[in-house]
Every structure is written in C-alpha cells, then in structure tokens.
Structure 1
Amino acid sequence: MSAEPIATPPGPWCPDPMRQQRADYTLEDLLSLPDDAPRVELVDGVIQVTPSPTLGHQDISLLLARWLLQHAPADLRVAQAVGVELSSNTSRQPDVLLRRSGLPAETSTLKPADVVLAVEIVSPGTRRTDRFAKPGEYAAAGIPHYWRIEQNPVHLYAYRLSGQLNLSRERQYELVADSAELVELTEPFDIKLPIAEITP
C-alpha cells in the first residue's frame, strides 16, 4: 500500500526573488497581491515589506489623525496607510495623510495630486527613509506639504515645497516650522497644533 503525499498549504506570501533582483515590480503588481500579503511599499521596482509599527508610533498616528479630522476644512479628508503612486514603479504609504475630498470610496491608491500633506512618524528602523528618502520622493512627486514627527520626545517638523531646486535639479522641501510644544501654520489650512495633543 503506497501512501499518498499530503498536500501542504503554501507558506505566507513573499516577493519573487528573481523579480526583486530585476527590480521589475510595478504598481499593477501591488494591486494583485494576495490577501495574506504583508504591508509593503514599492520602491524603484523592488517590493519592501514595512516593519510593524510600535504602540508609541500608532498612538501618535491615531492622535494626529483624530486632530486633523477635527480641524481640517471640509474639502480635505484624513487617511492612514493608503498607498500613494509616486511613479510607475514606486508607491509609498504615509503614516497619515490629508487628501482632497470627493474621491470614490473604493479608491485604494492615490495620485500625488490627490495628496495635500504626507506625514511620517519616525521609528528606529525608519529613520533614514523618513528623514531623507521619503521627503525627496514626495517632493519630486509634487506633494505640497510634508510633516516628519520624531518620537521621545514628540517633535513635529513641517515642510512645504520650495521654489528652489536641489543640486540634482529636483523639487525639494523647505522647513517652515518645528516644535515640541506648538506648531502654527497657515498652510495647508490655518493650524495651531499643540504637540501635547498628539503625544501619548
């Protein structure tokens, strides 16, 4: 009597190593990922699995999203961890963003023109990306405002697109405000944000 092989379910989804080497993943590939795929970003054709956020990171994210929801004008909406198509082979997921209203509810990825503000909360594993890579990508895509929030202590850095190009002739952000106490801005709307209100 011969034993039939027992079918084993496939393991969790992971990117194809050959496609990763070729860096040929596209935005369309992201839309067809299986339900069990982890949270990922697409950077220059390479799929990057994003690390799980800490409780402190999530607390700041939720507090900021709630504050923006309560204070943003009606033509702006708050979203969290929604993909933004920065180019044909790059998509990022800001921790919090302000988008233009009127988009269909089934929209799962945004165009840069839909995004008014992208916010990243810096964690130990994302320092380099959040401080350098993402602002460069968001600026190049034309997203008007970028906020970086550092933890321990909570400190918000607010940037807007500059009229000046960087040395590579690309768009860049300029710092317009930073504080660990109170951030006051006139763009993207009149803002008076006490940092204590987004501090866990």
Structure 2
Amino acid sequence: MTAQPVDPASRRPWSPDPLRQRLANHTIEDVLTLPDDAPRVELRDGVIIVVPSPSFGHQKISHRLWRWFEDHAPREFEPSGATGVVVGLNQTLEPDVLLLRAETLRYGNHYAPAEDVVLVVEVVSPGTRRRDRLEKPADYAAAGIRHYWRIEQDPVHVHAYELVGDRYELVADSAEELVLAKPFEVRLRVRDLAP
C-alpha cells in the first residue's frame, strides 16, 4: 500500500470568499450550505463574520442557563445553544442561548422565522462587548424578537429587556435573582450561572 499525496488546498480550513466579502453579497443560502468543518459564523449585511470561540467561563454560563431553561421553561418553549437565527435574506445571528417555540422551523443549525424565537441571550466577553451591547440588540429588535437578555461576567449580572415598539427597554437586572413575568414566570438565582 502506498501513501497518496495530499493536495495542500484540501487541507486548508474553510474561510469566506474574499471577493464576495468585498462585494458583501453572501446570502443566507451560503451560510446554510457551509461545510461541516466551517467555524460558527454570522452573516451581517452580506458579509460573513467568524464568531470567536467562547472562553471557559462564557461556556459555563451559557450551558448553565440552557440547563436552567430546560428544567424551568414551559413545555411550549425549547432552549437551544450555539445555533443561528435567520433574521433576513443577508443576515443571521448566533446568540449564545435562545428560547424558541417548540414548533419553530429548523434549517441545519439555524432557526426561522425570527418571530418564533422568544428570547435571545448574549454572554458578553471582552472581544464581543460592542456587538453584544449595541449592535446585536438593534438587530434582534428589528427582527421582532420580543425578549433579549445580556449577561455580563465578573461578576455575573443579568440585564433583561423587552421589545417595546421597535426598541428594547430594560425590565429587570440583577446580580442576585432575576424575577420576571415574561416570557414566562422567571425566578433565576444569578449566582447559579456563575462559573
């Protein structure tokens, strides 16, 4: 048996097409047909953005919140993590945790329509501060997602927002216990999320 030469081009990791990036003409179809070994990405106005890998603490907070939703959310809701939301023909987002209606359509690792997503959660990391605090809330609001939570680390603090008109308004925030009536009755001890 002889070893076959390996084509160096076949060993390169996936990356977005530079010309299409400059033209900003990637579509949702491009994201939905990415190869299995592609990194997590978001599509913003036709440009593919690679999502940074989360830190250990970020992952622990996300996982613990997902587990809390799994244990406490009503049956008509389904938690998900590290999956995308289709918010337009040339826009997808990758919240850290989301809560959606159980019957929401799934396309690979993405959910649509965005209106069926009940809640999106972003865990803020040093490299995602601006995006998680400013850009993503505006995109989620424009897509009609009713609830947005932002979780800050060190110390863990949850900020809960509800869509009023076309903007999110802060409805609760706590580093101790988050108490909400929507999207379902929530009594979440914030310290249980801490890594």
TM-score interval w.r.t. the shorter chain? over 0.9
Deviation of the 1:33 alpha carbon: 1.1
Q: Distance in 1 between matches of 2:108 and 2:77?
A: 15
Deviation of the 1:14 alpha carbon: 0.5
Kindly indicate whether residue 28 of structure 2 is the aligned counterpart of residue 33 of structure 1. no
**Contact 2:148–2:161 at 8 Å: present in 1 too?**
yes
> Per-residue CA shift, 1:86-126, capped at 9, x if unaligned?
11101001100000012467753212122000000000000
**Secondary structure of the residue that 1:177 maps to in structure 2?**
strand
> Match for residue 197 of structure 1?
192
In the alignment, structure 1 segments of 5+ residues that lack a partner are: 164-170
**Contact 2:78–2:100 at 8 Å: present in 1 too?**
yes
Q: Distance in 2 between matches of 1:38 and 1:103?
A: 24
Percent identity of paired positions between Structure 1 and Structure 2: 54
**Contact 2:32–2:107 at 8 Å: present in 1 too?**
no
**Secondary structure of the residue that 1:125 maps to in structure 2?**
helix
TM-score (normalised: structure 2): 0.93
Of 146, 153, 156, which aligns to 1:154?
156
Q: Distance in 2 between matches of 1:81 and 1:97?
A: 9
Kindly indicate whether residue 184 of structure 2 is the aligned counterpart of residue 183 of structure 1. no
Q: Report how many aligned residue pairs link the two structures.
A: 189
What CA RMSD, in Å, does the superposition of the two structures yield over aligned residues? 1.5
Asked which structure has the greater CA Rg, the reply is: 1
> Match for residue 134 of structure 1?
136
Aligned-partner residue type, residue 120 of structure 2:
A
Aligned-partner residue type, residue 85 of structure 2:
V
> Match for residue 45 of structure 1?
46
**Secondary structure of the residue that 1:133 maps to in structure 2?**
helix
> Match for residue 56 of structure 2?
55
Q: How does 1:66-145 map to 2 (within 5 A)?
A: 66-103=67-104, 108-110=109-111, 111-145=113-147
- Tell me: CA distance 1:121–1:6, structure 2 relative to 1, closer, same or farther (3 Å): closer
Aligned-partner residue type, residue 134 of structure 2:
F
- Tell me: CA distance 1:9–1:64, structure 2 relative to 1, closer, same or farther (3 Å): same
Deviation of the 1:154 alpha carbon: 0.1
- Tell me: CA distance 1:194–1:7, structure 2 relative to 1, closer, same or farther (3 Å): closer
Q: Distance in 2 between matches of 1:47 and 1:197?
A: 35
